[in-house]
Chain A
Amino acid sequence: MHQTVLFTSLVLMMAVAAIFLFSLSRSGAGDGSKKAPKLGALRFVLFIGALVLGAAVSIGSLRPWPRAVAAGADVVSVKVTGSQWSWEIDRKTIPVGKPVTFNIATTDVSHGFAVYDAGDQLLVQSQAMPGYINRVSYTFRTAGKYRIFCMEYCGVAHHDMTDEILVVAQ
């Protein structure tokens, strides 16, 4: 997912850059007629294309709802509380393959709870906001150690606000 996002973005950026380069390479005076080409139709096509693409991408990327929270009997519930500058996690050993719902709170300022895998890839995150409990769900596929980082700037030891959880096979 991470690499796909990067790749897609770079390709699209290059496409935009290519359009710029193409037009600029033809910015010379040409045959003397300085008029801009009549491109109203092209613009209209682009506009409609953008709308159609947008609708397709929106529907495709919002279903299933990307912030769905798992609930039910077999869901493992974990309570996470952030404070400057450490985490309190009430259950640090989690079974593999079961949906886990993190209930995230904070005692002071906003924090950001994020789970990183052994390859330092961010898997799932949520904000911790004063006065609220944010929920986010994730199902771990592989056993092992996972790191917890803080993703919302919370003061001068923000980067030290790390922890670990263990995912175990049953």
Chain B
Amino acid sequence: MAQANAPGTISAPSCPADGAVKLTMLLTVAVLLLMMAFGLTMRMAQGALIQIDPTIFYRLMTAHGIGMVGIAGMSGSAIMWYFLSRHVSLAGWVFWIHLGLFVVGVVAILGSIFIGGYAGAWTFLFPLPAISGGVWDVGAAATYLIGVILVGVGFLVYLVEVGRAVIERYGNFANALGWPLLFSGKQDDVPPPTVIAAAAIVVFNGISTVVGAAVLIISLINLYLPSFTLDALLAKNMIYFFGHVFINASIYMAVIAVYEIVPEYTQQQWKVSRSFVASWNAVVFLVMAVYTHHLFQDGVMPAWALVMGQIISYASGIPLLVITTFSLLTYLYRSGIRWDLASALLVTGIFGWSIGAVPAIIDGMISVNNIMHNTQWVPGHFHLYLLLGQVALTLGFSAWLTRTGVHASLSGWNARGFTIYLLGGMGFAIVFLVSGASSIPRRWATHLPEWHLQDQVGSLFALAAILGVGIIVLPITKRLVLSMRG
């Protein structure tokens, strides 16, 4: 695709569908800013700073949820594609299909929400899409589900291609996941971190996509044939399994940027140790088994599943904090790292993810969940590791991708934008946590007067975060466009 680079841009190692990756990053910037504007609108409405009809609020909420989750997945998949192509040979056209299906799916989703009036939240929890209380009709819900299915099919195609290429190079997934090193200490042809991560992601995200596709199609059939009912508990299990794995995968994919870019700064390769391999293999299991922490408030769930949810929630933090975070910090120690926008954002990404894990794990305790479930504690913790985690990693990757030959230290507008974004994002998420501790429910269009102050402070921080992101992405966008014009 667009091979030639704009003047002043260093040529990156060629990646099949390099143009599609850049296009994805442009799309990411646009969708991020739009969805953040939706988010700010919601937050201001909760704080009574503006008046919007609840129907509009819930449409914005649905769009914000699916838009952010979708773009996080899409940008993560672009990052993984970009770096994986350094190690295995991927067919570029597959990523274009993936991107194409994503765009078509997003158009369908936006249409279903803003034309059809669908406002059943991004989680399409059965049977809400079908039973709207007369607000949206079956067609709107169906369009939404079809949109999500299209995005899902795109991901399936993407994952299968990644799996195929990994097998072509490493023979099978046992090798790609580093089992020879893990179990018998074999040192030859150990896969690089990117390959191990990609193989793990293909396994768990592939399974989740298969389950997600099934429950989406079932929900779709149920819309038109309501007598074909679905067990609500089974549906909830399937939906949360799919949703949880998908959004987690978006972070795990983006972390590959750290494995590949940080070594350029520290002059030290990211080492594949036994504990690295063990932690990624553990993640495959943990990320799939942990979703039951979404069902603590369903007394009809078997108790063992809930106990498992709590223990796995805790255990999921160990590979993150003890392996990823710990390794990053030891690599940085005395590394003489040069701080520029890309390196600062990438470290911020791991930082946001790490601190976000704290309130997540705490809410993963049943006794805490009893009073925090579906309060704003939940958006509190996940905005930490999405807004400050996934998004920081994605922006860091984009900054690196569009780096100029000139030495760029973290100064001037970059530094200002970065600081505003970091402080705004932290404040925004922490206000959510405080609101959660004040028992303010999430997903409420209008708030009680005594909650307004918190909402208003939150809005202020949100505005700052958006401003910061805006400042950061302005030059990135310019260079992306230039390099694509080639």
Contacts and interface: CB of A to CB of B under 8 A. Distances in A.
A62 B231 CA distance: 28
A151 B120 CA distance: 15
Given A9-B359, A155-B131, 12 more contacts: A5-B372, A23-B329, A30-B336, A66-B367, A69-B299, A110-B236, A134-B297, A154-B128, A155-B119, A156-B54, A156-B55, A157-B133
Given A2-B439, A151-B374, A126 B299 contact: yes
Interface residues of B, number: 80
A43 B337 contact: no
A36 B333 contact: yes
Interface stretch (B151-159, B409-417, B430-438, B455-463): B430-438
Chain A interface bracket (under 10, 10 to 19, 20 to 34, 35 or more): 35 or more
B304 to A, nearest CB: 11
Contacts of A57: 314, 365
Interface of A: 1-3, 5-6, 8-10, 12-13, 16-17, 19-20, 23-24, 26-31, 33-37, 39, 43, 46-47, 50-51, 54, 57-58, 61-62, 65-67, 69, 84-85, 108-110, 112, 114, 116, 120-127, 129-136, 149-159
A27 B334 contact: yes
Nearest to A104: B299
Interface string B127-151: 1100111010000000000000000
Interface in B103-135: 119-121, 125, 127-128, 131-133, 135
Contacts of A131: 231-233
Contact of B135 (A39, A110, A156): A156
Given A5-B372, A24-B347, A151-B374, A36 B437 contact: no
A120 B438 contact: yes
Given A6-B434, A129-B298, A132-B300, A151 B370 contact: no
A1 B354 CA distance: 24
A132 B233 contact: yes
B326 interface: yes
Contact of A156 (B133, B232, B336, B355): B133
Given A13-B355, A34-B336, A62-B310, A151 B441 contact: yes
Nearest to B300: A132
Main SS of the interface on chain B?
helix
B445 A58 contact: no
A155 to B, nearest CB: 5
B315 A54 contact: yes
B179 interface: no
Nearest to A51: B318
Interface in B272-316: 275, 296-300, 303, 306-307, 310-311, 314-315
Given A132-B300, A135-B299, A149-B441, A112 B58 contact: no
A92 to B, nearest CB: 21
25 contacts: A2-B438, A16-B355, A20-B351, A27-B336, A28-B336, A30-B334, A36-B330, A36-B331, A47-B275, A50-B318, A62-B310, A67-B299, A67-B366, A109-B125, A112-B374, A129-B232, A132-B298, A151-B375, A154-B128, A155-B133, A155-B135, A156-B133, A156-B445, A158-B443, A159-B446
Given A2-B438, A3-B437, A157-B133, A129 B310 contact: no
A38 B438 CA distance: 44
Nearest to B343: A27
B12 interface: no
Contacts of B232: 110, 129-132
Contacts of B445: 156, 158-159
Given A29-B335, A122-B371, A125-B373, A37 B329 contact: no
Contacts of A37: 330, 333-334
Contacts of A121: 371, 438-439
B450 A120 contact: yes
Contact of A67 (B267, B275, B296, B437): B296
A157 B298 contact: no
Contacts of B347: 20, 24
A16 B334 contact: no
B453 interface: no
Contact of A125 (B121, B297, B329, B351): B297
Nearest first, the 10 A-B pairs at minimum CB distance are A29-B336, A6-B437, A30-B334, A122-B439, A23-B329, A159-B444, A66-B367, A134-B299, A151-B374, A130-B232
Contacts of A19: 329
B448 interface: yes
Contacts of B315: 54
B483 to A, nearest CB: 30
Contacts of B267: 34
Contacts of A6: 433-434, 436-437
A72 B363 CA distance: 31
Contacts of A124: 370-371
Given A84-B133, A134-B299, A156-B133, A36 B125 contact: no
B285 to A, nearest CB: 16
A2 B362 contact: no
Given A2-B439, A46-B326, A120-B448, A58 B310 contact: yes
B322 interface: yes
A165 B55 CA distance: 28
B433 A9 contact: yes
Nearest to B306: A67
A27 B338 CA distance: 9
B338 to A, nearest CB: 10
A26 B334 contact: yes
B415 to A, nearest CB: 15
